[in-house]
A and B are shown apart, each in its own frame.
Chain A
Amino acid sequence: MNTSQVTTLRHVKTVPNRRRFSLTKGIVLLFLSVLVVTQVYPLLWLFLYSFKTNEEILSGNFFALPQSPQWSNYVSAFSGGDYLRYLWNSIFVTTVTMTCVIILSSLAAFAISRFRWRYGQVVLLLFLIGMMIPMQATLLPLMIIFKNMHILNTHLSIILPYIAFSMPIAIFILNGFMKSIPGEIEESAIMDGASILRVYWNIMLPISVPPIMTVCILTFINIWNEYILASIFISSNSLKTLPFGVNSFVGQYSVNYGAIGAFLVLGALPVIVVYFLLADKITQGMVAGAVKG
């Protein structure tokens, strides 16, 4: 809360036309800071909560700092909740998904946007339709299919749908970008005897780094946070991803409030760290991703 007020004051100083609208501006800035509090304070509260004893939490003093930070909450979260394993599973699943999505969809987008063939637009349309299909509707049949393929309860069973449902938007973004690249570059490369694969690898991919970053960010946020699919297709504790693991932990430790808070903080930590490092890139990427409509 303090940080938001300090920042607000800094903004008051830098706002233009201070003389004319000072009262209005004051009210506006107050309103905007209140919004910061409502959006950020619950997370801060959770952070404080995770360091409190059960007695402190139940005492009703929601505003107080913990009397002495209870690291034991974090110890029970670590020991009772396999945090590192879930974290590793999430890193593994997300990395494999992102790599496959980028390779597969850049290949397809390249073919759709640059090759001279009749069905390019049809293929693109097929992927666009896919963006409108709700993922939940495929859960049941997928479970039956995966059961028959004997891949239920493996990482493959969540990676495959993750790839499939990330591809339409990836292809849409990459195709939009690649379409705008002038054709002369490839023509001369082909003239000089470069193979198609070389054009793709040495020309197309390096030029397309900005939209690939956007795809990376979108895929990362979506897959890293995905819960429902993992909870249906995975049953072994050792294969759970972080969101699923967090949810199971909360279910098991229902009265150890501090430990629950600690595990939620640990669960949120990786993505918050990434956000602090790449806030601007992430916000830009998420807006670009939303523009798909």
Chain B
Amino acid sequence: MNVLKVSRLTITAFVLPCLLIYFGIVFVPIVVSLYSGLLDWNGIGTSTFVGLDNFKNLFFHDPIFWPSVKRTLMFSVFSMAEIPLALFVAILLRRYVRKPNFLVSSYFLPVILSVVIIGQLWKTIYNPASMGGMLNQILIAIGLESWSRSWLTEPAVAMYSLYFVALWQYLGYHTLIQFTGISNVPAEVYEAARIDGAEGFKADRYITFPMIIPIFKISIVLAFIGSLQAFDMVMVMTGGGPANATDVISTHMYNMSFKSMQYGYGSSIASFLVVVCLIATVVINYVFNKLEKRFT
């Protein structure tokens, strides 16, 4: 309820500091970035306006670009595929554990750690056995020596090693979100369903699922945002290598702009990223509005 009648000056004084920082740091750079995407510029010297040439090169002549888009999408897909597992864990926690706080807190522990700690920890775990890597040492110890490999430097497996770390880190977050969602379903609803003969997983199918669809949406958005944050993790663990085998959109952008000094080209990738994000937001919202209408 907006009740206070105040002068324009007061409103300005309350809102302006916030808006100024926000525009200067978020909106201005995005606009600059959209414009620089149309330039041939190394960031220092003079720039030439080249229109959509950067985008043409990006879409049709860049051998790294589409694979990196694919990997970014795969990151989202894997993160979303984790949500049902998290929901399953949450249902089990709710049904079989009376004091789940310890378990939930343990699952959540990796979420609060910096991507640097997580990335370097897993780099150490993935190291060859001769360098003290735990994973390979375990494989050798249980007689699967043929499975041991250099997890982050073999192009064929490096990307999957990265997906796994992200899944490992965020399982606790998804579980906690689903668990909170389920805990908010009133116990009377389940009670009533039990009287009507719906128990166990049948109750989950007809009660839990429909009631936590909004929670699903949160998880999906989180998985999507998380897959963009894969940027930091890839930078810490492989930097996009070996031979671009683990490049995602944002690392490609980073390498183009900060390593190859192709400022204009890097900006066109950044513009692409912004557009993808906005489209994805609209799509996710649309799909969930439909879903919620159908189930409620």
A-to-B contact residues, CB < 8 Å: 4, 7, 11, 14-16, 21, 24-25, 28-29, 31-32, 35-36, 38-40, 42-43, 45-46, 49, 57-58, 60-62, 104-105, 107-108, 110-117, 120, 123, 126-127, 130, 132-134, 136-142, 144-145, 160-161, 163-165, 167-168, 171, 179, 182-183, 186-187, 190, 196, 199, 221, 224-228, 231-232, 242-244, 246-247, 250, 257, 260-261, 264, 267-268, 271-272, 275, 279-280, 282-283, 286-287, 290-291, 293
Q: Mask for B131-154, Cβ within 8 A of A = 1, else 0?
A: 110100110110000000000000
| Complex Cα spacing A126 to B26, Å | 11
The stretch of B55-63, B190-198, B205-213, B265-273 that contacts the partner chain: B265-273
Partner of B273, one of A14, A137, A144, A264: A137
Chain B residues near A227 (CB-CB < 8 A): 114-116, 232, 235-236
Q: Give the Cβ gap from B127 to chain A, nearest Cβ, in Å.
A: 9
Q: Give the Cβ gap from A71 to chain B, nearest Cβ, in Å.
A: 19
Is B15 in contact with A123, judged by CB distance below 8 angstroms? yes
Is A138 in contact with B131, judged by CB distance below 8 angstroms? no
Is A114 in contact with B3, judged by CB distance below 8 angstroms? yes
A126, A141, A227 — most chain B CB neighbours (10 Å):
A141
Is A42 in contact with B121, judged by CB distance below 8 angstroms? yes
B-to-A contact residues, CB < 8 Å: 1-6, 10-11, 14-15, 17-19, 21-22, 24-30, 32-33, 36, 43, 89, 92-93, 96-99, 101-117, 120-122, 124-125, 129-132, 134, 137-138, 140-141, 168, 171-173, 176-177, 180, 217-222, 228, 231-232, 235-236, 250, 253-254, 257-258, 263, 266-267, 270-271, 273-274, 277-278, 281, 284
Complex A-B, nearest 10 residue pairs according to Cβ-Cβ distance, in ascending order: A164-B25, A293-B221, A225-B114, A183-B3, A141-B29, A57-B132, A111-B14, A138-B29, A141-B32, A108-B18
Is A228 in contact with B21, judged by CB distance below 8 angstroms? no
- Give 12 new A-B contacts, CB below 8 A, not counting A39-B110, A247-B236, A286-B111: A28-B96, A43-B121, A45-B125, A58-B132, A107-B18, A111-B11, A111-B15, A130-B27, A136-B253, A227-B232, A246-B114, A275-B109
| Complex Cα spacing A153 to B163, Å | 33
Is A243 in contact with B21, judged by CB distance below 8 angstroms? no
Is A62 in contact with B134, judged by CB distance below 8 angstroms? yes
Is A283 in contact with B231, judged by CB distance below 8 angstroms? no
Chain A residues near B21 (CB-CB < 8 A): 104, 160, 163-164, 167
Chain A residues near B25 (CB-CB < 8 A): 138, 142, 160-161, 163-165
Residue of A nearest to B123 (CB): A250
Residue of B nearest to A244 (CB): B116
Tally of A-B Cβ pairs under 8 angstroms:
293
Is B274 in contact with A134, judged by CB distance below 8 angstroms? yes
Is A116 in contact with B231, judged by CB distance below 8 angstroms? no
Is A116 in contact with B5, judged by CB distance below 8 angstroms? yes
Q: Give the Cβ gap from A200 to chain B, nearest Cβ, in Å.
A: 8
- The dominant DSSP class at the A interface is helix
| Complex Cα spacing A260 to B124, Å | 9
Is B113 in contact with A115, judged by CB distance below 8 angstroms? no
Q: A228-B235, A290-B218 are in contact. Are A14 and B99 (CB under 8 A)?
A: yes
Q: Give the Cβ gap from A220 to chain B, nearest Cβ, in Å.
A: 10
Is B232 in contact with A134, judged by CB distance below 8 angstroms? no
Chain A residues near B96 (CB-CB < 8 A): 15, 21, 24-25, 28-29, 32
Is B217 in contact with A39, judged by CB distance below 8 angstroms? no
A-B contact pairs, 7 of them (CB 8 A): A39-B172, A140-B258, A142-B29, A228-B232, A286-B112, A290-B177, A293-B218
Chain A residues near B266 (CB-CB < 8 A): 140
Residue of B nearest to A168 (CB): B22
Partner of B17, one of A107, A243, A260: A107
A116, A123, A134 — most chain B CB neighbours (10 Å):
A134
Q: Give the Cβ gap from A66 to chain B, nearest Cβ, in Å.
A: 13
Q: Give the Cβ gap from B284 to chain A, nearest Cβ, in Å.
A: 8
Partner of B222, one of A60, A167, A242, A293: A293
Is A113 in contact with B2, judged by CB distance below 8 angstroms? yes
| Complex Cα spacing A281 to B125, Å | 31
Is B30 in contact with A138, judged by CB distance below 8 angstroms? yes
Is A115 in contact with B2, judged by CB distance below 8 angstroms? yes
Is B254 in contact with A49, judged by CB distance below 8 angstroms? no
Is B33 in contact with A137, judged by CB distance below 8 angstroms? yes
| Complex Cα spacing A183 to B99, Å | 40
Is B15 in contact with A134, judged by CB distance below 8 angstroms? no
| Complex Cα spacing A15 to B281, Å | 42
Is A45 in contact with B106, judged by CB distance below 8 angstroms? no
Is A221 in contact with B112, judged by CB distance below 8 angstroms? yes
Q: A15-B96, A136-B250 are in contact. Are A115 and B121 (CB under 8 A)?
A: no
| Complex Cα spacing A287 to B104, Å | 12
Q: Give the Cβ gap from B33 to chain A, nearest Cβ, in Å.
A: 5
| Complex Cα spacing A173 to B106, Å | 27
| Complex Cα spacing A61 to B129, Å | 10
